[in-house]
Chains A and B, each alone.
Chain A
Amino acid sequence: MPSSTSNSDSEVARPGFVRQTASDRPGVAQPVPERDIPARPWGPIIFAAFIMFVLLIAAWEWYWRDYGVTPSYRNSPGQWAAQRRRIDNGEGDKTVLIGSSRVLFGVQLPVWEKAVGERPIQLSLEGTSSIPVLEDLAEDPNFKGRLLIGVTPDLFFSGFAYRGDVIPYYHKQGPSQRSGHWISQHFFEPYFAFYDPDFALDTLVKRQAWPVRPGVPSRRSVRKLMIQDADRNSHMWRKIEVDPEYRALMRSIWSERFVGPPPPMMNTPEKLHKLIDTQISRAEAAVKKLRARGVSMVFIRMPSAGEYYAFEQKVFPRSSTWDVLLKRTNTPGIHFEDHPELQGYELPEWSHLSASEANRFTAALMPIVQQEFEAQESK
């Protein structure tokens, strides 16, 4: 930028600087830059740095494995986009699972595949209403298959979408992002336990016991809950089942969400009713488009327990949410409370089925889902 101290636009003396820059040479052709290489023993320096780096990484990996972590695939936007793209690449007639983490953990793809010979595409997103994905599929003429739509009351009827940015990511994903995902999935994710967003540096720093600033609500983020395969088949991390302390921690994190004032968009009965109505209208419009293309759909309310179930019953009772949804969309639904075979499973932290229970649950669910799909398709 122009120097307001110079008396002319000619070269300015800059005592103190080791080398001049373009800012010191106004109005002239800039010469080839000179770059100094500090006189240091760079060979030994980089060698020692590399050894230390490898040791630090090894120690970090050992620490997390000792904590009970095993390498698994990252639940990244690239991972979701890769599965979503299967619909564009000739698999548009397949069964697709959408919903939140309950469908992600609770519906096991190998069990499904064993039962009907087809492995569904898993597009559920944790902490996220299924409506944005439902709307995205409704706009995609390539999709003509079957759709199982998870309904987690506090997410679906509030429209909360923790991973909502994944859909625009899929639509805008560039070649370098795709190749980055491929490299990550083939060379890093299957081998490094620490390579998990839950153990990223900023997450770990944030998680420390910082003093609470008066007036700032203390709400902890959900910790690592799951292990994921390359095609997003997921199950609960074993630590939650075997480590009572970790399980209690997860429950206490959920409990924080059940106390305190509701968010501004649902802090009166009228606002809450309007919010629920809006979400059902969105679902209704999407379902209409999908049905016009011949897509068979079934809603599913996965099990919940304990304080989580009590919270759902209190804020999003079935009569004003689930029942209205099925009626307005004219779509069949499977509510765990209506089927004895879908009840009595172990949910260690109240919201998700454990890994072994998820297999049993999927096996029990399959005949009901098949029956609902076939009933629609026979009409």
Chain B
Amino acid sequence: MVFNSLTFMVFFALVLALHAMPFKWTTKKINLLIASYLFYAAWNPPFIILLWISTIVDWYAAQKLVHAEKPAARRFWMLLSVVVNLGMLAYFKYGTFLLENFTVLMASIGVDYQAPAFDIILPVGISFYTFATLSYTLDIYLRRAEPAKNFLDYALFVTFFPHLVAGPIMRPTELVPQFVEPRKASSQMLFFGLGLMTLGLFQKVVLADSFLAPAAEMIYDGKGIAGTLDAWIATLAFSGQIFCDFAGYSTTAIGAAMCLGFAMPDNFRFPYAAIGFSDFWRRWHITLSSWLRDYLYIPLGGNRHGEARTYLALMVTMLLGGLWHGASWAFVVWGGLHGFYLAAERILRSRFSGYRPGPFALFLFALLTYALINITWVFFRADSFGKAWMILSGMFGMNVGAAPILPTMHLTMVTLIVSGIVFAHWQMRQQTLESFIARVPAWLLSCAWAVMAFLIVIAQGDGNAFIYFQF
């Protein structure tokens, strides 16, 4: 079920009530586990089997790994976990993509290969929970973590509903220890958690779904050729939409976990105030970027084996990071562009290592970073390279004579909301939401909370799925 649904409201109220009952801690954990399975099964019940497979294989592999004495045996159990998890991901997420590309490849060498029907439904959140379970066996293999003391704690780590389908991607060392001792939210945690959930849902339901998505759809899903203004506004709208959608999900998830007494890590840190791309990736989808860094970039050599190897590791990491988002070459290009940006930034920083920009120059660099990130969003959002090229042509003024498409309402709302987001990020770039809230008068917090809740209700969202569910 999605957070922005009536079903979730009822579900969460019941889970909170159950968690507050005077049961034993083990009983409470079993309740949370069952609730998390129900949360997942509410989309498509049979896919829960995949979740079980992933859970059991990694538990078993980790147990074997811990007791294996020979390095070869340790490597075998680690590889088993990797193959099963990535195999499931490859089959369900990339099966069609691989088959289509194989058919094209065969055709290019003159072989008329007819692919069998391969109509696969992508299980919700498979990319997220396979990464979470993988980190369990990998951390144990790398001797960074101890295995969970019991299967219940481990199963709950994999399945815990706030992070299950769209992150933040949790590491075992972040969550498993929280299940060892009884945890209960204080009234302060409960209230602040509810506040975070309201803020997250406001971002998703009001900003992303009601005002930003329609403008992006009119250009990216429409048939018209976009001129400069329309192409830029639609792309800016998408940049705001994907932030509000995904950061909204993460904020809601963090709030939901907090209401139950658990802590989840930050996934976003005001990314549109980033100065440079390495800074951007320390602020955007932090739990994925750090996962890729720890389990892909560093094992590939990181920056420890010379410049050439560093650039290679960087580019491979970003290309695969792009592919993680979706089975399409457009996502690979998106990742490749980010890899290129990061490499270019690295070169520039070493070339101009003595340069210390002033405040105004920093602001201009932040705007430049944001503008260049918008270029990458074109490939992320467009459903084909033809469409992406049309939008980019529009953004660079090459669609001369294109008829205007977006009405004044969309131009105005997107400009207001996206300017507001970028301004807020700039103001908040050196602080946390919590440190900001600590300085806001109580009456203003009450008003803001009431208005956000009111706007969520009157927006009457349709329970649109969060964008990252498809990944």
Residues in A lying within 8 Å of B, measured CB to CB: 1-9, 14, 16-19, 21-46, 48-53, 56-57, 60, 174-177, 179-180, 183-184, 188, 194-197, 199-202, 205-206, 208, 210-216, 218
User: Quick one: given A2-B293, A17-B430, A57-B457, are A52 and B298 in contact (CB under 8 Å)?
Assistant: no
Q: Are B445 and A40 in contact (CB under 8 A)?
A: yes
| Cα distance A202–B2 in the bound complex, in angstroms | 21
**B21 contacts the other chain (CB 8 A):** no
**Minimum CB distance partner of A48 in chain B:** B446
Q: Are B293 and A21 in contact (CB under 8 A)?
A: no
Chain B 44-82: CB-based contact to A (< 8 A → 1; otherwise 0): 110000000000000000000000000000000000000
Q: Are A216 and B405 in contact (CB under 8 A)?
A: yes
Stretch at the interface among B371-379, B388-396, B447-455: B447-455
**B194 contacts the other chain (CB 8 A):** yes
The one of B44, B282, B459 in contact with A1, judged by C-beta atoms closer than 8 angstroms, is B282
Most B C-beta atoms less than 10 A away, residue of A6, A46, A179, A196: A46
**Minimum CB distance partner of A41 in chain B:** B442
| Cα distance A50–B281 in the bound complex, in angstroms | 37
**B404 contacts the other chain (CB 8 A):** yes
Closest chain A CB from B471 CB (angstroms) = 16
Q: Are A44 and B447 in contact (CB under 8 A)?
A: no
The one of B195, B214, B281, B431 in contact with A23, judged by C-beta atoms closer than 8 angstroms, is B281
Q: What residues of chain A lie closer than 8 Å to B445, measured between beta carbons?
A: 40, 45, 49
Q: What residues of chain B lie closer than 8 Å to A16, measured between beta carbons?
A: 430-431
Q: Is the interface of B mostly helix, strand, loop or mixed?
A: helix
| Cα distance A42–B445 in the bound complex, in angstroms | 9
**B314 contacts the other chain (CB 8 A):** yes
| Cα distance A27–B294 in the bound complex, in angstroms | 5
Q: What residues of chain A lie closer than 8 Å to B173, measured between beta carbons?
A: 29-32
Q: Are A213 and B188 in contact (CB under 8 A)?
A: no
The one of A4, A33, A200, A202 in contact with B263, judged by C-beta atoms closer than 8 angstroms, is A33
The one of B6, B45, B287 in contact with A184, judged by C-beta atoms closer than 8 angstroms, is B6
| Cα distance A36–B459 in the bound complex, in angstroms | 30
Q: What residues of chain A lie closer than 8 Å to B43, measured between beta carbons?
A: 174-176
Q: Are A46 and B191 in contact (CB under 8 A)?
A: yes
Q: What residues of chain A lie closer than 8 Å to B108, measured between beta carbons?
A: none
The one of B254, B281, B458 in contact with A60, judged by C-beta atoms closer than 8 angstroms, is B458
User: Quick one: given A9-B298, A17-B430, are A210 and B408 in contact (CB under 8 Å)?
Assistant: yes
**B327 contacts the other chain (CB 8 A):** no
Q: What residues of chain B lie closer than 8 Å to A41, measured between beta carbons?
A: 442
User: Quick one: given A1-B342, A8-B304, are A21 and B6 in contact (CB under 8 Å)?
Assistant: no
Closest chain A CB from B270 CB (angstroms) = 11
| Cα distance A46–B453 in the bound complex, in angstroms | 11
**B89 contacts the other chain (CB 8 A):** no
**Minimum CB distance partner of A52 in chain B:** B450
Q: Are A45 and B282 in contact (CB under 8 A)?
A: no
The one of A7, A26, A46, A180 in contact with B6, judged by C-beta atoms closer than 8 angstroms, is A180
Stretch at the interface among B25-33, B109-117, B355-363, B432-440: B432-440
Q: Are B42 and A175 in contact (CB under 8 A)?
A: yes
**B206 contacts the other chain (CB 8 A):** yes
Q: What residues of chain B lie closer than 8 Å to A7, measured between beta carbons?
A: 303
19 other A-B residue contacts (CB within 8 Å) besides A31-B173, A202-B214, A214-B404: A1-B280, A2-B278, A2-B297, A2-B317, A3-B282, A9-B302, A16-B431, A17-B432, A18-B432, A29-B139, A29-B145, A34-B263, A48-B442, A53-B449, A60-B454, A205-B409, A213-B406, A213-B408, A215-B404
User: Quick one: given A6-B303, A19-B432, A33-B174, are A176 and B409 in contact (CB under 8 Å)?
Assistant: no
| Cα distance A213–B215 in the bound complex, in angstroms | 15
Interface residues of B in 314-368 (CB under 8 A from A): 314, 317-318, 321, 338, 342-343, 345-346, 349
Closest chain A CB from B335 CB (angstroms) = 10
**B192 contacts the other chain (CB 8 A):** yes
Q: Are A176 and B42 in contact (CB under 8 A)?
A: yes
Q: What residues of chain A lie closer than 8 Å to B304, measured between beta carbons?
A: 8-9
User: Quick one: given A4-B342, A176-B43, A214-B404, are A26 and B282 in contact (CB under 8 Å)?
Assistant: no
Return 12 A-B CB contacts under 8 Å, by A number: A1-B281, A1-B297, A1-B321, A29-B173, A32-B175, A32-B178, A38-B438, A42-B187, A175-B42, A200-B458, A202-B211, A216-B408
Q: What residues of chain B lie closer than 8 Å to A38, measured between beta carbons?
A: 192, 434-435, 437-438
**B290 contacts the other chain (CB 8 A):** yes
**B463 contacts the other chain (CB 8 A):** yes
| Cα distance A22–B173 in the bound complex, in angstroms | 12
**B182 contacts the other chain (CB 8 A):** no
| Cα distance A28–B142 in the bound complex, in angstroms | 10
User: Quick one: given A1-B321, A42-B192, are A21 and B290 in contact (CB under 8 Å)?
Assistant: yes
What 3 pairs across the A-B complex have the smallest Cβ distances?
Answer: A1-B281, A52-B450, A176-B1
User: Quick one: given A18-B432, A27-B294, A210-B409, are A39 and B438 in contact (CB under 8 Å)?
Assistant: yes
Q: Are B459 and A2 in contact (CB under 8 A)?
A: no
Interface residues of B in 254-292 (CB under 8 A from A): 254, 258, 263-266, 269, 277-278, 280-283, 286-287, 289-292
User: Quick one: given A183-B6, A202-B211, are A56 and B281 in contact (CB under 8 Å)?
Assistant: no
User: Quick one: given A35-B254, A49-B453, are A26 and B298 in contact (CB under 8 Å)?
Assistant: yes
The one of B145, B189, B412 in contact with A210, judged by C-beta atoms closer than 8 angstroms, is B412
Chain B 188-227: CB-based contact to A (< 8 A → 1; otherwise 0): 1101101100000000001000110010000000000000
